[in-house]
Chain A
Amino acid sequence: MIVFLIRRLLQSAAVLLAMSVLVFAGVYAIGNPIDLLISPEATQAERAQAMHMLGLDLPLPLQYWQFLVNAFHGNLGTSFVFNQPAISLILERLPATLELSLLALIVSLVVGIPLGLIAGLKSGTAVDETIMTGSILGFSLPNFWQGMMLIMLFSVWLGWLPSAGRGETGQILGITTSLATLDGLRHLILPATNLALFQISLVIRLTRSGVRETLPLDFIKFARAKGLTERRIVFVHVLKNILIPIITVVGVEFGSIMAFAVVTETIFSWPGIGKLLIDSIMNLDRPVVVAYLLLIVTMFILINLAVDILYSLLDPRIRLGDA
């Protein structure tokens, strides 16, 4: 187990290092780093000084080393636009993205699992067909357009729900969140629906195939033979068996939800890190872009690592086979 852990940790570190080289290459080698890292309004003398300070007059490998050392100290540059360290800017916006993603995840499970169960149990019927076609539709709906349609329907035409911003926020355990106020929740409904729709389709498919694989198994036949009610078989025996893979996949998908939050936040003017990224790209605020990319990549590697470790705890075969 310890060997597995060490090997897996080393792998993650290697991936992170490779990614940092890529991001570094993208910003420092392909683009002109002076244009990217120094405000265009700077004078010639300021530029020269800044270049020296940033070490841009050093050879490239040394520059990369400098970049790494700075990154390890949490110094990923200062935003041109906000004139504040890029990393703190991102951390400030993180709760908004997290609350949105979390809610979307919960919605996708609450809606997706029952629909998937129905489709799997009534496999081959018109109900199943309708749900599955609906899930393909959910996969096909362009996320951004679907969000716009939600705004059109519920904000512009019906006027029921707000279409932009986070609304009033409150404090829960010291974290500022929209989940704490009624107004905040009202603002959350549309963006969370928008973000959840794709995941709902995924959960439906996972649940349905899980049900279809579980139903013919011996222990279900045995449960039937024992005379258990169909209800008990479905909700206790089938559900318990398919829940683990669903939760695992959806856990990994959490990262994907956060990435898609970029789209949702842009449509609903949600002040999270996704909107910050797009704004920063538009404003050529490169330090923020770099900080976002490194942060999200780190997060992804950590999520994947956590899932792998969890898996190896649940299933010893993974640990014993070559990892």
Chain B
Amino acid sequence: MGASRFKLPSPDGFLGRSARGILSSRKATIAALVCVLLLLAATFGPLLAQQNPYDLSAINLFDARLPPMSPNSNGGIYLLGTDAQGRDMLSAMIYGLRTSLMVGLFAGLVALALGTALGLVAGYYGGWIDALMMRLVDLMLGFPAILVALMLLALLGQGVSKVILALVLVQWAQFARAVRGSALAERNKEYIEAAGSLGLSDVRIIFGHLLPNCLPPIIVIGTLQVASAIAAEATLSFLGIGLPVTEPSLGLLIANGYQSLLSGEYWMSVYPGLLLLITVFSINLVGDRLREVLNPRLAER
């Protein structure tokens, strides 16, 4: 197609810029490495874990509440101790990480897709669509995320799909606002005008030409929102209105360990909490670095 000749501000380079940005900071490099490791652990979790913590035949009630480094009845070692049901904490944590990451990533990506599409449309068309959409965004951002999620789950009840729905609903507005901002700035540039004068359809212009040039803020916000989705899900699950007991995420593991904390059996809540913290912290560190690298306003300084 002749249209490709008019894609002047080439979107490539920003991926390279992100990678270089992360690698040039030791902190961000370590954080990114940790993220990759966690993702691998979650993906191959069942192969790594020494037991399936939700297979009732695999757990032994006599092994309940053992402190870290206790010997296992089958000759192994409970590295991080066991919980009140006799589950190996480390295995339970690996499975919990899987659930947490899955819910957080999925919710973050859906919110990204929805918010980006709405933001692009608002920014490209302007006018009343834009006005209406931004009113809605202001409304959503006027309420703290945790409150909106609480409201929704209080009304709908708990469940995986409902938690994801709640997370998407509180997060799309962040994407919509940022993407609309860059779309607005890009809309009047010549390459969009050129694409329009070639008779390309609006859909093609928005997703083929406008979208690639709005990617940097999407990537930055996407990273930070995944972290906040994971943290929010954990909080909701801790409060008992998030994921059901059949899908134990890290938040639920911590909640289970809460009762034992007061009697000094710290490992049931400390270790899953540390894993949650490391996960959210590393993602946030990477996101923060990406913001520094990709945000032209900051780069000037």
Contact = CB atoms under 8 A, between A and B. Distances in A.
Interface of A: 15, 23, 26-27, 30-31, 133, 136-137, 139-145, 148-149, 151-152, 156, 163, 212, 255-256, 259-260, 262-263, 266-267, 277-278, 281-282, 289, 293, 296-297, 300, 304
Contacts of B144: 255-256, 259-260
B130 interface: no
B150 A259 contact: yes
**Across chains A and B, which 10 residue pairs bring their CB atoms closest together, nearest first?**
A26-B155, A145-B273, A259-B147, A256-B144, A140-B281, A140-B280, A259-B144, A144-B238, A140-B284, A289-B154
A143 B142 CA distance: 21
Interface string B254-271: 100010011010100110
Contacts of A156: 261-262, 264
Contacts of A259: 144, 146-147, 150
B269 A277 contact: no
6 contacts: A133-B285, A140-B284, A141-B277, A145-B269, A152-B266, A262-B150
B147 A142 contact: no
B226 to A, nearest CB: 12
A304 B147 CA distance: 15
Contacts of A136: 281, 284-285, 288
A142 B155 contact: no
Contacts of B234: 142, 144-145
A267 B258 CA distance: 9
A266 B262 contact: no
A29 B266 CA distance: 44
Contacts of B17: none
Contact of A278 (B143, B239, B262): B239
Q: What size tier do the contact residues of chain B reach?
A: 35 or more
Interface in B1-40: 27
Contacts of A277: 150, 154
Given A259-B144, A262-B150, A263-B239, A27 B254 contact: no
Contacts of A15: 139
B235 A142 contact: yes
A133 B27 contact: yes
For B142, B155, B254, B270, the residue with the greatest tally of chain A CB atoms inside 10 Å of its CB is B155
B235 A282 contact: no
B156 interface: yes
A148 B150 contact: no
B117 interface: no
Contacts of A296: 147
A144 B254 contact: yes
Contact of A137 (B146, B155, B262, B281): B281
B261 A145 contact: no
B240 interface: yes
Given A140-B227, A259-B144, A300-B143, A145 B281 contact: no
Given A136-B288, A263-B239, 6 more contacts: A136-B284, A156-B261, A277-B150, A277-B154, A281-B240, A300-B147
Contacts of B235: 142-144, 263
B280 A282 contact: no
Interface in B129-162: 139, 142-144, 146-147, 150-152, 154-156
Nearest to A145: B273
For B151, B152, B240, the residue with the greatest tally of chain A CB atoms inside 10 Å of its CB is B151
B215 interface: no
B273 A149 contact: yes
A282 B281 contact: no
For A27, A30, A281, A293, the residue with the greatest tally of chain B CB atoms inside 10 Å of its CB is A281
Nearest to A209: B298
B176 interface: no
B67 to A, nearest CB: 15
Given A259-B146, A289-B154, A140 B262 contact: no
